[in-house]
A = this chain, B = another copy of it.
Amino acid sequence: MIPERARAILDQVASGQLSPAAALAQLAIEPFESLEYATVDHHRALRQGYPEVIFGAGKTAEQVVGIAERIASRGDGFLVTRVEVVAQVALLDTFPGVRVNPVARTAFLAGTQRAQSGRGEVLVITAGTSDLPVAEEASETVMALGGEVRRVTDVGVAGIHRLLSRSAELRDARVIIVVAGMDGALPSVVGGLVACPVIAVPTSVGYGAAFGGIAPLLTALNSCAAGVTVVNIDNGFGAAVAASRILSAL
Contact = CB atoms under 8 A, between A and B. Distances in A.
Copies in the complex: 8
Interface residues of A, number: 113
Given A2-B24, A14-B20, A35-B165, A222 B227 contact: no
Interface string A68-111: 00000000000000000000000000000000000000000000
A161 interface: yes
A212 B28 CA distance: 39
Given A193-B160, A209-B232, A222-B232, A27 B34 contact: yes
A227 B165 CA distance: 25
A35 B31 contact: yes
Interface in A18-73: 19-21, 23-24, 27-39, 41-42, 45-47, 53, 55, 57-58
Contacts of A206: 222
